[in-house]
Structure 1
Amino acid sequence: MSTTPRRALVVIDVQNEYFDGGLPIAYPPVSQSLPNILRAMGAAREHGIPVIVVQHETPPGAPVFARGSHGWELHPEIAAQPADHRIDKTMASVFTGTGLREWLAARGIDTLVIAGYMTQNCDAATAYAAAHDGLKVEFLSDASGVPAYENAAGKASAEEIHRVFSVVFHSNFAAVSTTEAWIGAVKDGVALEVDNVYLSAQRALRG
């Protein structure tokens, strides 16, 4: 029985809002993450991995992602890429109300690879939903990103948010990898390994 992962790459919300709109991605900078997203899409096509392009939308007049607005549009370099499936969504998780679960099952997909924005929001919601459905998850940490946050609960830099979510993902929910390492795993036909909560906590205690 083959142990080669049956992957699908989901490219989440690579839209103008994150480049020149109200939610500018700060870390990793889009000058790094966008080329890596494109590299991942190219590698997926080369190796027969289906590519799913996702676009978030809100009602007309909303401050961000208003359907039909410039910020809602996919980044031109992503819009120009072929995709095996396209999804419009209104919630953080790509699974909510989109039929993605059934689409993946019909194709025998067992591993969902996540790239795109934002790490702490739509990427996280999608990773948790996929893991809870029994899928393996791989998260491309240099093909994603976040803005900084400040609210009544406190203030966090983009780098801090991205790092913390990446560590949490890798402790249980998703194997975190660079795009380069992921492409290597794809070429070799091997899965990326995720850690576990116990070992992650024990290393911190020993450190």
Structure 2
Amino acid sequence: HALVMIDHESQMAFATKSIDINVLRQNTGIVAGAGKIFKVPTIISTVFEKSFAGPVFPEIQEFFPAGNYIDRTTMNTWEDPKAHKAITGTGKKKIVFAGLWTEVCVVGPVLSAIEEGYKVYFISDASGGVSQEAHEMAVQRMIQAGAQPITSIQYLLELQRDWARQETYKPVTDLVKKYGGAYGIGIQYAHDMLKH
């Protein structure tokens, strides 16, 4: 699959009310880290980064430094020729989306990708809307159109699949310790206790 992360930027976050901003940032870090660890073709897209929406979350920059982001004027990433070419150019028939806001910049490309025959997933807790209702209505609309909802930890662990996969075990557990909240503390605890 390809991973598309859209408009995780300061100005967009200011108006996001459907999820606590700290939780959103942690979940976004999990998704970006998962993309990097598992070498998923990842497209980071921004809207008016330098003149309005501002910088991408540091949790994304940690894994995908600035320089290759696709800046747009379109609300629907799918309608931006450069972004569309980058996404479809991966050759992947499954696409995973996350972004701000769910009701505009996520729902648009999700519906467009489905219309073009792609199997589409969206990470609901690495996305957010201007209100709980706006987020929920967008989620319902995407599900009704055939998109599959997933969460950030679910995404990471579906990529890991088996704790015996040693080449990714440490990077995944380190990522969860950093961004996984209570789950991360649990892993830290288990690792520490197993040393004794």
What range describes the TM-score normalised by the shorter chain of this pair? 0.7 to 0.9
Q: How does 1:1-207 map to 2 (within 5 A)?
A: 7-20=1-14, 24-57=15-48, 67-69=50-52, 71-82=53-64, 85-147=68-130, 158-188=131-161
Does the 8 Å contact 2:32/2:60 carry over to 1? no
In 1, distance between residues paired with 2:72 and 2:32?
Answer: 20
Mark the CA change 1:104 to 1:52 in structure 2 (over 3 Å): closer, same or farther: closer
Give the TM-score taking structure 2 as reference length.
Answer: 0.73
In 1, distance between residues paired with 2:62 and 2:51?
Answer: 18
Does the 8 Å contact 1:8/1:49 carry over to 2? yes
Does the 8 Å contact 1:119/1:144 carry over to 2? yes
Mark the CA change 1:29 to 1:81 in structure 2 (over 3 Å): closer, same or farther: same
Does the 8 Å contact 2:103/2:137 carry over to 1? no
Aligned to 1:200: none
Alpha-carbon offset, residue 33 of structure 1 = 1.3
Give per-residue Cα distances to partners, 1:11-55, cap 9 Å, x unaligned.
1101110334xxx21111221111111101111111121121111
In 1, distance between residues paired with 2:158 and 2:18?
Answer: 25
Structure 1, gaps ≥5 residues long: 1-6, 58-64, 148-157, 190-207
Q: CA RMSD in A?
A: 2.2
Which structure: greater strand fraction? 1
In 1, distance between residues paired with 2:95 and 2:141?
Answer: 17
Alpha-carbon offset, residue 85 of structure 1 = 4.7
**One-letter amino acid of the counterpart of residue 10, structure 2:** N
Structure 2, gaps ≥5 residues long: 163-196
Which structure: greater helix fraction? 2
After the TM superposition, which segments of 4 or more aligned residues of structure 1 sit over 3 Å from their partners? none
Give per-residue Cα distances to partners, 1:132-165, cap 9 Å, x unaligned.
1111111101101011xxxxxxxxxx11221222
**One-letter amino acid of the counterpart of residue 136, structure 1:** K
Q: What's the secondary structure of 2:153's corresponding residue?
A: helix
In 2, distance between residues paired with 1:183 and 1:29?
Answer: 20
Mark the CA change 1:145 to 1:99 in structure 2 (over 3 Å): closer, same or farther: same
In 2, distance between residues paired with 1:186 and 1:89?
Answer: 29
Does the 8 Å contact 2:111/2:145 carry over to 1? no
**One-letter amino acid of the counterpart of residue 63, structure 2:** Q
Mark the CA change 1:29 to 1:107 in structure 2 (over 3 Å): closer, same or farther: same
